[in-house]
């Protein structure tokens, strides 16, 4: 049986259960593109990624993929941000595109 693929995009948290962690939205986009054709068991997202960076470019990538009829294959997306408004925005947008997403604590 193969190991689960768990990706995280967070500027600060260590996310010890993650297979790979990106620290910026740019790195997060690259990480998702590397796994574009596979199945991602879990994707952990933080909204605020330091400075002016946020998870929204990653959310846009996921949204555009779904809009084009080619959503990423993700078992579950967990939003673990300390920013409640930003986190709810991510949950609302991704839920609209039928991704399985919820708030969580990392």
Asked whether the beta carbons of 87 and 81 are under 8 A apart, the reply is yes
What is d(CA 9, CA 55) in angstroms, rounded to the nearest whole number? 8
User: pLDDT digit string (tens) for 50-89?
Assistant: 999 999 999 999 999 999 999 999 999 999 999 999 999 9
CATH number for the domain harbouring residue 13: 3.40.50
Residue 29 binned pLDDT confidence (cut-offs 50, 70, 90): very high
Mean pLDDT of 8-19: 91
57 lies in some domain: yes
- How many folded domains does the chain comprise? 1
Domain carrying residue 95: 6-103
11 lies in some domain: yes
Nearest to 9 by CA among 33, 36, 29: 29
60 lies in some domain: yes
Asked whether the beta carbons of 86 and 47 are under 8 A apart, the reply is yes
1 lies in some domain: no
């Amino acid at each position: 049986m193969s190991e689960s693929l768990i990706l995280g995009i967070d500027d600060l948290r260590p996310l010890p259960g993650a297979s790979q962690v990106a620290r910026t939205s740019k790195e997060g986009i690259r990480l998702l593109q590397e796994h574009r054709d596979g199945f991602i068991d879990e994707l952990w997202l933080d909204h605020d990624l330091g400075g002016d960076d946020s998870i929204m470019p990653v959310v846009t990538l996921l949204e555009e993929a779904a809009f084009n009829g080619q959503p990423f294959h993700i078992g579950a997306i967990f939003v673990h941000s300390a920013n409640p408004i930003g986190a709810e925005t991510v949950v609302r947008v991704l839920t609209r595109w039928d991704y399985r997403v919820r708030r969580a604590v990392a």
